[in-house]
Structure 1
Amino acid sequence: MSLTNWHIAETVEIPTWLSEKVGKFAAQLLCQRGIIAPEQVESFLDITAYQPTSAFAFGAEMEQAIARIQKAYEQGEAIAIWGDFDADGITATSVLWEGLGQFFAQGDRLVFYIPDRLKESHGISIRGLDELRSQCQSAGKSLSLIITCDTGSTCLDALTYAQDLGIDVIVTDHHTLPDQRPPVAAIINPRYLPNQHPLFNLSGVAVAYKLMEALYETLPEIPQKPLEDLLDLVAIGLVADLVKLTGDCRYLAQKGIEVLRQKQRLGVRMLLEQCKRVGDRPIDISFGIAPRINAVSRIWGDVRKCVELLTTRDERVCKALIEQTELANTQRKALQKKVFKQVQAKIEQLDLSTTGLIVLADPQWSVGVLGLVAGQVVAEYGRPTILCTVEDGIAKGSARSLEGINLYDLLKGQEHLLLSFGGHPLAGGLSFALENLQLLTESIDQKFWSQYGQLQSKAINIDLEVNIADLSKELFNEFKQLEPFGMGNPYPKLLVRDCQFSEISNANIRTQKGQKVEYIKTEFTLSDRNGNQIYGDWWGHYSYELPDTSCDVVIELVDNAFRRRYDVRLLDFHAQSAPLSAELPSLATSIKNSDLNLKIIDWRGRDLVELNDHSSATICDRCPQSWQDVNTIIERAHQANQALALVYPRPEQINGAIAWQTLVGVAKYLSRTGKEIRRSQLIAKLGIDDQDVLQIGFEELQQYGYAVNAIAVPSDDRDLIIRINSIASIYDGFTTANPFIQAANELAFQQQFFDRQLLKNALHSSAG
């Protein structure tokens, strides 16, 4: 397993009243997330203390939308709902179907249309408009108003076409906005609001709900059912779409889960029974309801039955639909794993050291699972990824990115190569002529390198450091106060140091009917030196991947309702290397003959040329890797009577897996072109300035059919010229377990440790 960078949140001072109110660990989380003031805490914990934002905060657009719907109601017009085929779009369609159904007769004056995922794309299409209009005409209705949900903001051609047909459109959406306001009767999209607005992060279903809220408020005497009955659907869409659960998003999710827990909706109750979930936590949605709803479109395309499942009152119909969703979800799992393996095989042919984005296409791939697989690729390889299927010369697919890389911006500006695209900074959909594949790939890859400049290694943000003895029902209940967890309020990631795995075994995952599913997990017991232990599992991994040495682990505490206990879910581990496994002395006891009041300045990441005066400081341009290094560095500054300035690259940028990818890419390039590289240049590319680790890398390359020769540079006896030639074609792809990766990760571990020791005394400087 490659070493993932760990970013551990700083411990902050906790007010006594807060610790007494929610417990010390929950209080620490709240403070780290900026929720400190008493009124903030109260409204965060208690939904009755939160003041929800009015639907009319959307301003004139909401007023125009309500006026147009009111006109349609008064004049007996027919309305069509245009939805989308993911869980957010399906629940949004269901909200409008039930909400507008209080004003317009369902199936008569109210119809809905959702594109088929396997035949159409996200968004409004001219083809779909013609089909919808034809359906209405066949029923003797003249379509004059369409209300979209979770889609439509950037479908300018289709919206113009609707306008030409005399059809008004009200867009409710939350995706990225077009450069100019589209030709619509109203557009209700929280992206028009300031980033810190409490409505800014609403998902599609939540925007649809706010529209219904405004309509109920305007015509309160007409609806026969409470608006709040729709909140369980809102919670499902919000959690499934991974929006930030802050502001009104959190409020609506909290209220919705309360309704969900009551299980008044037949389809929701039967879905929860099917996946053996209670319905009182977001995890019941994200791991139970949402995958089953999403699976229908991924496997079969047509999701109209999903809306029926969520809105029907017929138990016989509902039972049949539940069976279909379960079958679709089982097939989705198998198909996803199959496509992921095929994608990995293609990735092995790429030079990942020079690849900023992974863009692949294959006519055999099912478009329904490409978004899920792209997300897996992002997690595994740390690259923004676009995966497409191909039909009749058109590539159609899904894109996923990682935090800090705006995929939408990378695609924007490539409209001349695209037939369609839309989405978020982290996810989107697109289509283009297959002949444009290479040009599109080169264009966005060039834009990536110019904007971001470097590849990002995988990282985990850790919230708290705990002991195994802390992992109890009491801690779980502390965390439960802070639910719902999700984007913007992530589930706590916990660091446990110096523990070991035992009683390790693999478990085969099966369906309720005993059928084997193409997923595995490893079960284990986690123990510390004091005899404390807890059970846990590691999804998607085999038992042999766990180390037999002491480890630091990152885990989540979970409620194992089936076994009536609290377990841990393993997220990552760092095996302790031999030099650092023993009890380590502190910096103060390790520095010899030094002034412990020495000023240490953190200038890492700064360009020395930009700093006004660095001659008065002793420069440390290489991260220490041992206590001897620390002593030598500080003694040099002490003797010079100067501050010590740290200017070396941040050690968390070292990642063995990425370094190996880069080294293999360099080897391929040099062997193909016959060019050479200086050792100093290779060090800069890999981020590794350690002769022993580099030598291990060279030896490992030889195992893959490369010959490495190093020649001294006459003008610089500290540098070498590296030449690499291919002598055999036995390289069989990227592997995550080889001596070089392990050595690089151990180096990173050592450097991060000693870097932290230095920084404990560092005085951060911005002026130099």
Structure 2
Amino acid sequence: MINQWNIAPIYDIPKWFQDIVQEYTKNIPTKGDFVSQLLWHRGIREEKELQTFLDSRNYKPTSPFDFGQEMKRAVIRLNQAREEREKICIWGDFDADGITSTSVLWEGLGQFFAQDLQLSYHIPNRLKESHGLNCEGIDTLAQEGVTLIVTCDTGSTNLKEIDYANELGIDIIVTDHHTLPDDRPQVVSIINPRYFKNTHPLYHLSGVAVAYKLVEALYEAFPDIPIQPVEDLLDLVAIGLIADLVELKGDCRYLAQEGIKKLQNTNRCGVKQLLQLCKGNGDRPMDISFGIAPRINAVSRIHGDASFCVKLLTTKNLKEAITLANQTEEANLNRKELQQTVLKQAHKKVADLDLSTTAVIVLEDNQWETGVLGLVASAISQEYGRPSILLSTMKTSDSNNLARGSARSVSGINLYDLIFSQKHLLSGFGGHPFAAGMALPIENVPLFRDGINQKLKQKLDITKLQPIIDIDLTVTVSQLTQELFKELKLIEPCGMGNSAPKYLVKNCWFTDVRNKNISSKKKNKTIKYLVTSFKLCDSSKPDGIFGSWWGHSSSEILSNQNYDVVIEFDYNKFNKQYEPRIVDIKTSDSQLNLNVSESPTVKNNIVLKANNNNSETLFNKDFHKQKWINFLGIVKYLINHQQSIDIKIFQEKVVMGDRTLEYSLKTIENLGFIHTIENNNIYFSSRKTTINEKEYLKNLQKTIAIIKEEYLQTLFLNK
């Protein structure tokens, strides 16, 4: 699917704004022009807002008692439990936000309650229990003498389970950030930022940040009891916040900024081990989002039970930390292998869909493990620009004939509301506007697919659904330096609502293009990755700089061709270099530099009389080249996405008649592209072969001549 590019305009930035930015770039040999443009475009245009965005020391964090009576009730009930030596259980969740939430409460409440004697925790088994409270677990806690459950990152909509706990004499305090029920549940307290307006500085808190606010409130109410400073929990808060993809605004950004400062100097031996495994030092949010968080999340995805991850984050025993961290590494490798397999299968299923009539991609398979479906759904939704839902219909002893799965959305489409519209078909679901999980009877899957598609079609024109890439800055290759990286590092931490910058490099070309074989090995497993390395060049730096394109082959980049390229620019800690990483690529609107024959019929402009009113049509020398590049681009897209296409539709897209298409197909055989036609569908594939450049150029010359001839005939027929 072709991506739409939204390119930020160039603004006339006020001097006062630039002066503030330059205060933070005075140790960098730049003027702060790039970060000024980016922040202004992202809507940061007030002095106070700019100062607090750039420096967390200028931000005044919101009091935990902004939660009002709900927070006060929670503090009073916890103090009662402390005085009466009640048993308390923290009920968490199995993803990184839930694990860090549990860890924050384990250590934070552990300043007030004896761990293991009065205080315990429960992490649901992802494969057996799923998210949220369940009656079986509540039964077990009642038998153990628990009289108070404190949830974290879950519980808001578990109305049946809350009522059941009340019947057994167990009180519940909910700390959560997910969607609220219609009516307040029968709990002691529900601390959930969704009760605030979306402009409130606490509105976007994730589960771990809500848990931290509860601990913060206890510290304020009883300051003489705790021994450990509450700020010591902020490294855990940063991990959960960034892992959960909440919008980094208000207190979220502040807590993430302060947490990353703490993470760089963490004393947690388990966190240190995770950083070593991902070769990070904790100063970048990427060390969390691409390092720590995937390893924590992998445990429940592969094994179901992730309770040991709480111990990993809180243990003071180095030997134990090393053992547990290695277990997360092994789980993460297994997760990568499983994710690769499911993603390939999902791509094949998407190829069978008519995306022109599909608003929501709903895929199912009876062999899929549920643990990686959210990750694959995220990749599919980003690639095809529409919400995606992946369901496993695998039969298990406790599945009760249910399909279980995960959903991910794209910007502007509220996934939770979409799924809620089909709640009559579901046995359970939960989530928020961007991500959700669900279960439904297998026989309801076709009805669910049709219903959710119809619902979205009623809301918007699906023909306009396509992936959108927001481009922050237009740069030259010579500007891609360490100084630019340091300047743009000012906007970190990046995440939802503050994405990593994307740059546009126009009219550039590539040299030294080659495939690299990257693999991860652990015991008897090897995970292979396709990545293309290259030098990115333009007129400002003809010798270029090294970069990479993950998941793509070198055959997708033509030599002697100019491109417009969207990149991210980051530091490669493995190669120890700053490098561009391709996000998207298109042939340049500027000069097309194809290596074609020097024949005058190809090289010269031709002026033709197009109609009777003496107006002239210019047949530009680049027209037929652009047509050929368009043809190659569509062929490569179909190969990369393993898609076939109706041959008539293909001809319409490449704008070629039968004879022109015939010669074009013969010509690309010299590049290793082969095709087959079955049931009026054309399929393309590539094979490893030595490119016959001489034969290719010979055939290309004839093909270009036929393209030109066809164009001329069209002109005269339309006179």
Q: Given the alignment, which residue of 7, 12, 29 partners 2:38?
A: 29
Shift in Å, 1:287: 1.0
Provide the rounded CA distance (Å) in 2 between the counterparts of 1:44 and 1:733. Answer: 51
- Cα separation, 1, equivalents of 2:356 and 2:685: 14
Question: Could you say which residue in structure 1 is the equivalent of 2:216?
Answer: 213
- When residues 376 and 190 of structure 1 are mapped into structure 2, their CA distance, relative to the original with a 3 A threshold, is same
Summarize the Cα distance change of 1:269–1:247 in structure 2 as closer, same or farther, 3 Å threshold: same
Matches within 5 A, 1:557-568: 557-568=569-580
Q: Superposition pairs for residues 544-693 of structure 1, below 5 Å?
A: 544-548=555-559, 549-576=561-588, 693=654
Task: Look up the match of 1:274.
Answer: 277
Aligned mates of 1:316, 1:220 — CA distance in 2: 34
- Distance in 1 between the 2:365 and 2:198 partners? 38
Could you tell me which residue of structure 2 aligns to residue 260 of structure 1? 263
Shift of 1:732: 7.8
Q: Deviations over 1:455-509 (max 9, x none)?
A: 4111100001111111111111111122111111111111111111111122222
Distance 1:444 1:566 in 2: 44
Cα contact 1:400–1:426 (8 A) shared by 2: yes
Q: Which amino acid aligns with 1:315?
A: L
Q: Provide the rounded CA distance (Å) in 2 between the counterparts of 1:25 and 1:578.
A: 24
Aligned-pair CA distance for 1:666: 13
Mean Cα deviation higher: 568-577 or 82-91 = 568-577
Classify the secondary structure of the residue corresponding to 1:296. helix
1:519 matched to 2:519: no
Measured against aligned partners, the alpha-carbon deviations of 1:681-733 in whole angstroms (never above 9, x if no partner) come to: x9xxx9x9x978565699989x99xxxxxxxxxxxxxxxxxxxxxx9547487
Corresponding residue number in structure 2 for 1:401: 409
Shift in Å, 1:192: 0.8
Q: Match of 1:602?
A: none
Report Cα offsets for 1:249-292 as digits up to 9, x if no partner: 01000100011000211111111112111111101111111111
Please tell me whether the aligned partners of residues 501 and 526 of structure 1 are also in contact (alpha carbons under 8 angstroms): yes
User: Partners in 2 of 1:580 and 1:502 — Cα distance?
Assistant: 16
Q: CA deviation at 1:441?
A: 1.4
Contact 1:3 1:574 in 2 (8 A): no
SS of the aligned residue for 1:199 comes to coil
**Aligned AA for 1:453?**
D
Pair 1:151-2:154 in alignment? yes
1:55 positional shift? 0.6
Conserved? CA contact 1:88–1:236, under 8 Å? yes
Measured after TM superposition, the shift of residue 513 of structure 1 is 5.6
Question: How much does 1:417 deviate?
Answer: 1.3
2:460 pairs with 1:452? yes
Which position in structure 1 is the counterpart of 2:60?
Answer: 51
Query: What per-residue deviation string (whole Å, max 9, x for no partner) do you get for residues 400-456 of structure 1?
Result: 111111111111132221111110111100001111111111111111111123141
Percent sequence identity over aligned pairs: 51
For residue 301 of structure 1, what is the amino acid of its counterpart?
G
Matched AA of 1:382: G
- How far apart, CA to CA, are the structure 2 residues paired with 1:573 and 1:341? 22
The alpha-carbon distance between structure 1 residues 404 and 295, as it changes in their structure 2 partners (threshold 3 A), is: same
Secondary structure in 1 matching 2:111: coil
> Where do 5+ consecutive residues of structure 1 fail to align?
137-141, 583-625, 630-654, 672-681, 705-726, 738-768
Query: How many angstroms apart in 1 are the aligned matches of 2:505 and 2:115?
Result: 55
Supply the distance in 2 between the matched residues of 1:364 and 1:478 (Cα, whole angstroms): 47
Q: Residue 413 in 1 paired to residue 424 in 2? A: no
How far apart, in 2, do the equivalents of 1:691 and 1:506 lie?
Answer: 33
Change beyond 3 A, Cα 1:327–1:179:
same
Mapped contact 2:175–2:192 kept (Cα < 8 A):
yes
Q: Could you tell me which residue of structure 2 aligns to residue 538 of structure 1?
A: 549
Report the CA distance shift for 1:521/1:221 in structure 2 as closer, same or farther (over 3 A). Answer: same
Aligned twin of 2:488? 479
User: What corresponds to 1:3 in structure 2?
Assistant: 2
Whichever residue aligns with residue 502 of structure 2, its letter is: K
Q: Contact between 1:266 and 1:318, CA under 8 Å: does it hold in 2?
A: yes
| Partner SS, residue 276 of structure 1 | coil
Task: Give secondary structure in 2 for the equivalent of 1:511.
Answer: strand
Q: Which runs of 5+ in 2 are unaligned?
A: 26-31, 595-616, 621-632, 666-676, 688-719
Kindly state the Cα deviation for residue 628 of structure 1 after the two structures are TM-superposed.
10
Q: How many residues align?
A: 623
Distance 2:644 2:342 in 1: 28
Note closer, same or farther for the CA distance 1:225–1:735 as it changes in structure 2 (3 Å cut): farther
CA distance in 2, matches of 1:94, 1:700: 63
1:104 and 2:116 correspond:
no
TM-score normalised over the length of structure 1: 0.76
TM-score using structure 2 length: 0.81
Q: In the alignment, what sits opposite 2:614?
A: none
The one-letter code sitting in structure 1 at the alignment partner of 2:403 is: A
| Corresponding position: 1:18 with 2:17 | yes
For residues 249 and 298 of structure 2, what CA distance do their matches in structure 1 show? 27
Residues 354, 665 of structure 1: 8 Å contact kept = no
* 2:432 maps to amino acid: H
> Are positions 1:429 and 2:431 aligned together?
no
Deviations 1:515-570 (A, max 9, x none): 63132211111011242521111111111122331011111111123333211111
Residue deviations 1:50-109 (CA, integer Å, cap 9, x gap): 100011111111111111111111111111111111101110010011111111111111
The two structures, once aligned, show a CA RMSD in angstroms of 3.2
Instruction: State the SS of the aligned residue for 2:566.
Output: strand
Greater mean alpha carbon deviation, residues 255-264 or residues 337-346: 337-346
Question: Residue in 2 aligned with 1:598?
Answer: none
The letter of the residue matching 1:373 is V
- For 1:65-144, what aligned pairs fall within 5 Å after superposition? 65-134=74-143, 136=144, 142-144=145-147
In structure 2, relative to structure 1, the CA distance for the partners of 1:527 and 1:111 (3 Å cut) is: same
**8 Å contact kept, 1:468–1:532:** no
